[in-house]
Amino acid sequence: MDYEVIVIGAGVAGIYQIKRLADLGINATVLEAGGDLGGTWYWNRYPGARFDSESYTYGYSFSRELLDEWHWKEKFSGQPENLRYLNHVADKFGLRRFMQFNCRVDSAHYDEAANLWRLRIADGRTLTCRFVIMTLGLLSIPTLPRLEGMDSFRGRSFHTFHWPHEPVELAGKKVAVIGTGATGIQVIGEIADKVGELVVFQRRPNWSAPLNNSAISHAEMADIRARYDEIFATCARTPGGFEHEPDRRGFYEVSREERLALWDRLYDEPGFGIWLRNFREIFTDEEANAEFSEYIAERIRRRVKDPVTAEKLIPRDHGFGVQRVPMETNYFEAYNRDNVTLVDISETPIEAITETGLRTSQRDYEFDVIVYATGFDAITGAFDHIDIRGVGGETLREKWADGPSTFLGMLIHGFPNLLMPAGPQSGSASTNYPRGIETGVNWCTRLLEHMWAHGHDRAEATEAAEKRWTEHVVRMYAMMLMRKAKSWFTGYNSNVPGHEQGRIRYFVYNGGAPKYVATINDVAAKGYEGIEFGGAGQATPRDLVGGVSRAAE
């Protein structure tokens, strides 16, 4: 066997996972498809890419020294700085030597007789391991529209995820942006005043609100450092894993004036407060949601000068917050500029990409650059891209064809020794990712330690436990207005075969971080109820699991 553990993916989760394994002296490696570490922050280099989480709640919490030495320069830090941070973490803890880059895993097959996983790498190698840990990212498979002529365009075109590493000259250029999700909204706000001409092709508008970013001074950072314990404790007790706590007053218990006062305040505050500090009924009660959505619509009307454009930017098919809320900087003001045009492609669809631009049902456009901000094959897409086979050759792709089923979002019946610290239906999928990721990695690592301590060499979620968890996840959707929205939260993607119909996929756990953590801790405390173990009953000798591999040596 080549490794005791192979981790797939060197993003925020993979970096922390290998740190934990390295500390334990386990023979482990990380395989990463990209040319370097960083995951989301390695790939998404488009202008305007930044956190929507407060930077200091996004960073790792596991090392006091790291917390004490890192200065987040902005409340919502941008991609270059975020990538620098992840590199700093990897270098500080000597993790790079466990990582293999440009290493795409094509398949992972469980060999029942030998009780090991056999991974085929795109470079032709086969690697074996006892445990495989999937830290693949929830939004790591970008999806492009299926439009005629896409290869014929003679200018430059790319998905935001594949934004080139070298600077892209935009000054004076005619630029198209297709898509107005969180990504499109970041790009548009950032480039509107830098390009010659910008045409935004919008299929459905999204509700969004100001990010209200600002710099963090040395004095402010010193204050944040002094409060880190308190900050992480707050994140741990809020449903979203942020500092933002919902307003516990009942929506209907306070007057309309009090509601407006709260909303006026939240609109000017930084970050997701407008979403997560709001009344809880916004997520569950149609009327409450409609009243708040109308409040935000008024804000849009006040910011966008042309009333026709303003109305086009106001969503009609869903209420505020039932899809992931994009946070914006100068987004609505972009449409007040003479060089920016909004094209509603629900009225005039794109018919084809041409050699010189694109054609809608109404007219031809010429562009130098076409930016596809068209989203991702979310949550399960990265799993579907690897040929994963478990017991009896069952493929995960088939098993999850109608949506994922998991135990705690971390194990899958029929796929022993495969762990997902931040998998579909886990607590991290709907919360401030790194907070959920640390929880998931710690839990998976503890499970492995438990197994090594007891000489277990096989762990598999029982069918009953998986069914129970999945039904629990499904039941929680019943309360959420989110179930009605066509968004990646529920598995909708018009560019992925089988995902166009808006049939709900129960992707995320909606019970909130505290309940999730309590549940998984309880499972562990009860001796991993719901997991069947195989193997001896005495500790695995250290030399069988140890001797951490140093890929780069």
Whether 129 and 357 have beta carbons less than 8 Å apart is answered as no
Two structure tokens written together for 309: 């454009």
Residue 280's SS3 state is helix
Nearer to ligand NA7, 299 or 486 (CB): 486
Using the contact rule CB under 6 A, the part of the chain among 66-74, 89-97, 172-180, 272-280 near ligand NA7 is 172-180
- Shortest spacing between CB 203 and ligand NA7, in angstroms: 4
Task: State yes or no: residue 82 binds ligand NA7 (CB under 6 A).
Answer: no
Nearer to ligand NA7, 3 or 433 (CB): 433
Which residues 85-144 are close enough to bind ligand NA7 by CB under 6 A?
139
Whether 283 and 476 have beta carbons less than 8 Å apart is answered as no
Judged by CB under 6 A, which of 11, 39, 48, 179 binds ligand NA7? 179
Two structure tokens written together for 30: 């990380």
- Shortest spacing between CB 373 and ligand NA7, in angstroms: 6
Which residues 307-366 are close enough to bind ligand NA7 by CB under 6 A?
324, 345
Task: State yes or no: residue 434 binds ligand NA7 (CB under 6 A).
Answer: no
Beta bridge partners of 376: 142
Whether 61 and 224 have beta carbons less than 8 Å apart is answered as no
Task: State yes or no: residue 396 binds ligand NA7 (CB under 6 A).
Answer: no
Using the contact rule CB under 6 A, the part of the chain among 227-235, 355-363, 368-376, 384-392 near ligand NA7 is 368-376
Task: State yes or no: residue 182 binds ligand NA7 (CB under 6 A).
Answer: yes
Judged by CB under 6 A, which of 9, 184, 424, 436 binds ligand NA7? 184
- Helix 433-454 and helix 12-23, axial crossing angle in degrees, nearest 10: 30
Nearer to ligand NA7, 201 or 400 (CB): 201
CA 205 to chain centre: 21
- Shortest spacing between CB 163 and ligand NA7, in angstroms: 12
Residue with tokens 């969004």: 208
- Shortest spacing between CB 480 and ligand NA7, in angstroms: 16
Q: Which residues contact 372 (CB under 8 A, 6 or more apart)?
A: 142, 144, 145, 157, 158, 159, 160, 178, 179
Task: State yes or no: residue 375 binds ligand NA7 (CB under 6 A).
Answer: yes
- Shortest spacing between CB 46 and ligand NA7, in angstroms: 10
Opening angle at CA 402, ends 398 and 406, nearest 5: 80
- Shortest spacing between CB 141 and ligand NA7, in angstroms: 11
| Residue nearest to ligand NA7 according to CB distances in the complex | 181
Query: How far is residue 177's CA from residue 374's CA, in Å, rounded to a whole number?
Result: 9
Whether 318 and 347 have beta carbons less than 8 Å apart is answered as no
Nearer to ligand NA7, 187 or 396 (CB): 187
Query: How far is residue 192's CA from residue 183's CA, in Å, rounded to a whole number?
Result: 14
Using the contact rule CB under 6 A, the part of the chain among 24-32, 95-103, 176-184, 518-526 near ligand NA7 is 176-184
Two structure tokens written together for 169: 């000259």
Nearer to ligand NA7, 183 or 417 (CB): 183
Two structure tokens written together for 141: 């498979």
CA atoms within 13 A on the CB side of 171: 1
Beta bridge partners of 198: 175, 340
Using the contact rule CB under 6 A, the part of the chain among 123-131, 174-182, 223-231, 502-510 near ligand NA7 is 174-182
Pattern 190-219, binding to ligand NA7, x per CB under 6 A? -------------xx---------------
Task: State yes or no: residue 494 binds ligand NA7 (CB under 6 A).
Answer: yes
Say how many C-beta atoms besides its own lie within 10 A of residue 12's C-beta: 29
Beta bridge partners of 111: 116
- Shortest spacing between CB 317 and ligand NA7, in angstroms: 9
- Shortest spacing between CB 103 and ligand NA7, in angstroms: 24
Task: State yes or no: residue 18 binds ligand NA7 (CB under 6 A).
Answer: no
Nearer to ligand NA7, 502 or 530 (CB): 502
Query: How far is residue 524's CA from residue 149's CA, in Å, rounded to a whole number?
Result: 54
Q: What is the four-CA torsion angle of 408, 29, 63, 57, rounded to 10 degrees? A: -50
Tell me the number of residues near ligand NA7 by CB under 6 A.
Answer: 20
Q: Where are the alpha helices (DSSP H) in 47-128?
A: 55-58, 64-69, 79-92
Two structure tokens written together for 267: 């609109």
Whether 361 and 220 have beta carbons less than 8 Å apart is answered as no
Using the contact rule CB under 6 A, the part of the chain among 64-72, 256-264, 369-377, 542-550 near ligand NA7 is 369-377
Phi, psi of 435 (to 5 degrees): -65, -45
Using the contact rule CB under 6 A, the part of the chain among 178-186, 328-336, 468-476, 530-538 near ligand NA7 is 178-186
Nearer to ligand NA7, 79 or 100 (CB): 79
The residues binding ligand NA7 (CB under 6 A) are: 139, 145, 178-184, 203-204, 324, 345, 373-376, 488, 494-495
